[in-house]
Amino acid sequence: MAKKFYIETLGCAMNVRDSEHMIAELSYKEGYEQTETLEEADLILINTCSVREKPVHKLFSEIGVFNKRKKDGAKIGVCGCTASHLGEEIIKKAPFVDFVLGARNVSKITEVLHKPKAVEVDIDYDESQYAFGDFRSSPYKAYVNISIGCDKQCTFCIVPHTRGEEVSIPSDLIVKEVEKAAKTGAKEIFLLGQNVNNYGRRFSGEHPKMNFTNLLRLVSEVDGVERIRFTSPHPLHMDDEFLEEFANNPKICKSMHMPLQSGSTKILKAMKRGYTKEWFLDRALKLRQMVPDVSISTDIIVAFPGESEEDFEDTMDVIEKVRFEQIFSFKYSPRPLTPAKDYEDQIPDEIGSQRLTRLQSRHNEILDEMKSERVGKVVDVYFEELRPGGKVAGRSDNNVMVQVDGSEELLGKIVTVKITDAGRLSNFGVVIA
Ligand code: 5AD
Ligand code: SF4
């Protein structure tokens, strides 16, 4: 009988793709099969996130539970960003852990599996040209990495310390991945990197000069690719050329993630984000002008050290002006290895909570205003998921989630739908073509 592995993935899309890579390596090189039942697994993996403190705290209780529930002889591996950051400390604190595998070392999964108490967390390791096996959790869309690591030094962020310096993946390898995915039916390609529109900053070998806009053009020329999404771009690198390609290339989905972090120029400076409130507003409003149907999402941190009421009002002002379709908002969480944790004027937790509530309530009001504007709109939906009650769900080009009555025959198809009922995040519609 084949050996089985169980995997839990926390964090961002990059981690989802890293898990897919590990699944591919385990399946093709070691003959493992995936199971959803922890108790029958021979190998239990947790792919961790370290961006905020809470999930890191929870890690040890969670692996403690795994250890109690696992079958005799099953191995436990801790992978991902917390693995990079804590390294052997994990085995010291939880001696039952069999190996620790960093976010930049996932290609070594089949090695560490056979080395008792292995700790592979080298953040200088170059995985940018490693040919991973094929595995995708969805047949309809394919995540494709375009770079590893991050060269920015945002003062709140631990990621540069867990994923190392930024290296772009050679464009011919990216195009090959995209061709493979498109051939097997993935109409949608999701390009991934910590900072995608900084593509081409550094390659590990010889490579012709190339930027993200050039890469978008290359990918959109691949046969079978109908939709391109990407995450995360950085507002600083949103030059006119990039915005024009985004607006004019029909294959690029009209949904942009623009991580604001703060609306105050003073706080943005303390965060080392490299742009001002005015630059961000200029880019976002230009985008709205160029692509009237665009949907813009963002990440916001409240209560960064030194954030005054006035600074917070600047953030509220940006959400009024941009009217984001989606906001991922967080209370600042001091992280090890980051300069901001030592800044004076850390903000008390209650103030952070109050600001977060205010931001989220106002954003919900904005969403309620926007949802009625959606009713009656006609959108092209790429169906990818069956839902209970005889429904099928998919996303429009501009990232609106829509459900219609239907079944398997709609899966993998792009179909025109009229929105009949709109909620904040989920909408209902009828197929019209
Ligand atoms: N505290 C709170 N939020 C953070 N993020 C990154 N680091 C921190 C931190 N120390 C948020 C940012 C980033 C998102 C992925 O997580 O908003 O864009
Ligand atoms: Fe972190 Fe900033 Fe890099 Fe994003 S761009 S991963 S926030 S350092």
CA of 355 to the centre of ligand 2 (A): 22
Our count of domains for the chain comes to 3
Q: How many angstroms does the Cα of residue 305 sit away from the middle of ligand 2?
A: 17
- CATH value at residue 175: 3.80.30.20
Task: Report pLDDT for 35.
Answer: 98
Q: Are residues 51 and 185 in the same domain?
A: no
* CB within 8 Å of 155: residues ≥ 6 apart: 270, 271, 272, 338, 339, 340, 343
Q: What is the pLDDT of residue 399?
A: 95
Instruction: Note whether 320 and 355 are same-domain residues.
Output: yes
Same domain, 178 and 250: yes
Residue 135 counted as domain residue: no
d(CA 147, CA 169): 5
pLDDT at 85: 94
Same domain, 366 and 379: no
Looking up tokens 């030194």 gives 306
Tokens of 54: 């809470």
C-alpha distances in Å from residue 104, one per residue of 21, 163, 323, 360, 424 = 12, 6, 36, 34, 37
Would residue 22 count as lying in a domain? yes
State how far the Cα of 164 lies from the Cα of 127, in Å rounded to an integer.
11
CATH code of the domain containing 93:
3.40.50.12160
| Unique residue bearing structure tokens 């209780």 | 61
Kindly give the confidence (pLDDT) of every residue in the chain, 433 residues in length, as a single tens digit, with 9 standing for 90 and above.
899 999 999 999 999 999 999 999 999 999 999 999 999 999 999 999 999 998 888 899 999 999 999 999 999 999 999 999 999 999 999 999 999 999 999 999 999 999 999 999 999 999 999 989 889 999 999 999 999 999 999 999 999 999 999 999 999 999 999 999 999 999 999 999 999 999 999 999 999 999 999 999 999 999 999 999 999 999 999 999 999 999 999 999 999 999 999 999 999 999 999 999 999 999 999 999 999 999 999 999 999 999 999 999 999 999 999 999 999 999 999 999 999 999 999 999 999 999 999 999 999 999 999 998 999 999 999 999 999 999 999 999 999 999 999 999 999 999 999 999 998 878 999 999 7
Asked if residue 292 and residue 361 are part of one domain, the reply reads yes
Distance CA 252, CA 226 (A): 8
The count of other CB atoms within 10 Å of the CB of residue 363 is: 21
Q: Which of 379, 384, 386, 382 minimizes the C-alpha distance to 414?
A: 382
Residue carrying structure tokens 């494709």: 144
pLDDT number for residue 57: 83
Name the closest-CA residue to atom 4, ligand 2.
194
How far apart are the CA of 159 and the centre of ligand 1, in A?
9
Q: Do 355 and 381 have their domain in common?
A: no
pLDDT of residue 1: 85
> Residue 127 domain-assigned?
no
pLDDT of residue 388: 94
Closest to 98 measured CA to CA, from 75, 71, 81: 75
- The pLDDT of residue 378 is 96
Pocket lining: 158 vs ligand 2, CB cutoff 6 Å:
no
What pLDDT does residue 315 have? 98
Q: Is 262 in the pocket of ligand 2 (CB under 6 A)?
A: no
**In a shared domain, residues 180 and 224:** yes
* CATH code assigned at 414: 2.40.50.140
Same domain, yes or no: 330 and 213: yes
- The residue type found at 387 is R
* Residue 44, burial from CB neighbour count under 10 angstroms (0-12, 13-18, 19+): buried
- Indicate whether 381 and 369 sit together in one domain: no
**221 and 239 in one domain?**
yes
For a pocket test of ligand 1, which of 57, 155, 299 has the largest count of ligand atoms closer than 8 A to its C-beta?
299
Question: Is residue 189 a contact partner of residue 81, using CB atoms and an 8 Å limit?
Answer: no
Ligand 1 midpoint to CA 272 (Å): 13
Protein residues with CB under 6 Å of any ligand 1 atom: 51-52, 156-157, 259, 261, 299, 301, 330, 332-333, 335
311 and 381 both lie in a single domain: no
Cβ neighbours for 286, distance < 8 A, ≥ 6 positions apart: 243
Judged by its nearest atom, the ligand closest to the C-alpha of residue 259 is 1
Q: What is the per-residue burial (b if ≥16 Cβ within 10 Å, else e) of 339-361?
A: ebbeeeebbeeeebeebbeebee
Residues 240 and 343 in one domain: yes
- Identify which of 305, 415, 326 has the alpha carbon closest to the alpha carbon of residue 370: 326
Expressed as residue numbers, the domain containing 414 is 375-431
